[in-house]
Amino acid sequence: MATCVPTNLAPSNTRNSARVLTENNCPRRAFFMKMHKDKYGFSGSIQKLGLVQVRCAANSHSVSPYNNQDPFLDLHPEVTMLRGERRNDSSDEDLSESLGVSSSPSSYNAAKIKVIGVGGGGSNAVNRMIGSSMNGVEFWIVNTDVQAMRMSPVFPENRLQIGRELTRGLGAGGNPETGMNAAKESRESIEEAVYGADMVFVTAGMGGGTGTGGAPVIAGVSKSMGILTVGIVTTPFSFEGRKRAIQAQEGITALRDNVDTLIVIPNDKLLTAVSQSTPVTEAFNLADDTLRQGVRGISDIVTIPGLVNVDFADVRTIMANAGSSLMGIGTATGKSRARDAALNAIQSPLLDIGIERATGIVWNITGGNDLTLFEVNAAAEVIYDLVDPTANLIFGAVIDPSLSGQVSITLIATGFKRQEESERRPLQASQITQGETSIGINRRSSSFTDGSLVEIPEFLKKKGRSRYPRA
């Protein structure tokens, strides 16, 4: 929405303009409008600082000398006659149009989502997303390696080369500092790339140069512009070496401070889902595909009209400033496919911590045309039985004709309550399996001594003895 300000605030070369327009949702950018009269009223060209050129048109009352009065007077026919202007009896419909009011559903604007793949790993993930026909999402790749970008199916105008002066298009050489400086050099171009988005996914493979160093900068630019920013990254396989592992952790630490929600996918844990004979190339493809599923599981909820539609504001409520989050993915076929898919998602090796500790859950169920409401309810019961009763939950149900006979569930758990770093979650299966042999059951150390009927406070214990007598 544009706002008029006095012309004396404009630069000297625009003092003959009607007004200087500023955009409310982007206060750092200004528009300079030069007006000239034509047979339709006034038209003008707007010069936008730092961004693209646009044009606009304005009717005569937009620059009326009576602009200090009530603007609604311009719409009153008797007032226009007193000014010596031609009477114009407008209908209620014309009045609504003049005020910019519309009751038509067509005035609704869908949330705009952009996915930005940073570096080689992030770009590969975006390429895979394009191949899977994700709808309602705008894809970008950001890299210092020009040759790698040329091989991407992303539109040329959505390929952003960063650090032109620093790297000359030859890559970051595996140095995160070079990737960071390259992103800082191209900050203005990054702002233009994310401008206008409601939600931005920043995806990268951590451990290298461009993704590790550039992703935190790009995410920081996005978040500073008020955009809901979600980071989804992978950590290196063990066979990639200790240096890359250390660089990845440093990059994740920097990224965590610049996103609303951060989802980290350890590549080593993906190996539990493949056989020992899996080729190295297929292992990397699996990592890229997991990034794709994470992005799609969230974006489909917002962009695709489904059995259950979710407002973008609901997604923002759960994911804004949520911090570290975890993701689980489950698929299943057969008679109890929905329930099995839900169990597979919450028992996913990617979920280190039980979802019962999460304060927010976003989950999406996708199935073919044969997906029933009963199956959606069966999956929901599995998930809801495990989460905290006070947790905020939203979910979407999407129909994908290509998944006939199959159900897929993506679950994002956010806002985990404070806990010890060394504490890991018990397997969700332990809630079904009973007995002392159950794996991962979380037990607190008892504060009762053997044979005692009185609880002994921890601070009174001294080498197993207490001043309190036994009962």
Taken in order of first residue, the domains within the chain and their CATH numbers are: 2-106 (no CATH), 109-304 (3.40.50.1440), 324-440 (3.30.1330.20)
327 - beta bridge partners?
412
Q: Is 80 exceeded by the pLDDT of residue 322? A: yes
What confidence score (pLDDT) does residue 102 get? 47
33 - beta bridge partners?
19, 46
Tens digit of pLDDT for each residue in 208-237? 999 999 999 999 999 999 999 999 999 998
Q: Which residue has the tokens 């190295």?
A: 280
For residues 18 and 34, give the distance between their C-alpha atoms in angstroms, rounded to a whole number: 6
| Cβ neighbours, 10 Å, residue 185 | 17
Per DSSP, 361 falls in state: E
What confidence score (pLDDT) does residue 381 get? 93
For residues 237 and 464, give the distance between their C-alpha atoms in angstroms, rounded to a whole number: 45
- pTM for the structure as a whole: 0.66
Q: Is 80 exceeded by the pLDDT of residue 428? A: no
Looking from the CA of 19 toward its CB, the CA atoms found within 13 Å total 19
Mean pLDDT of the chain: 74
| DSSP calls for 352-389 | -S-GGG-SEEEEEEEE-TT--HHHHHHHHHHHHTTS-T
The rounded percent of the chain whose pLDDT value lies above 70 is 64
In this prediction, residue 355 has a pLDDT band, given cuts at 50, 70 and 90, of confident
Phi, psi torsion values for 145, nearest 5 degrees: -100, 105
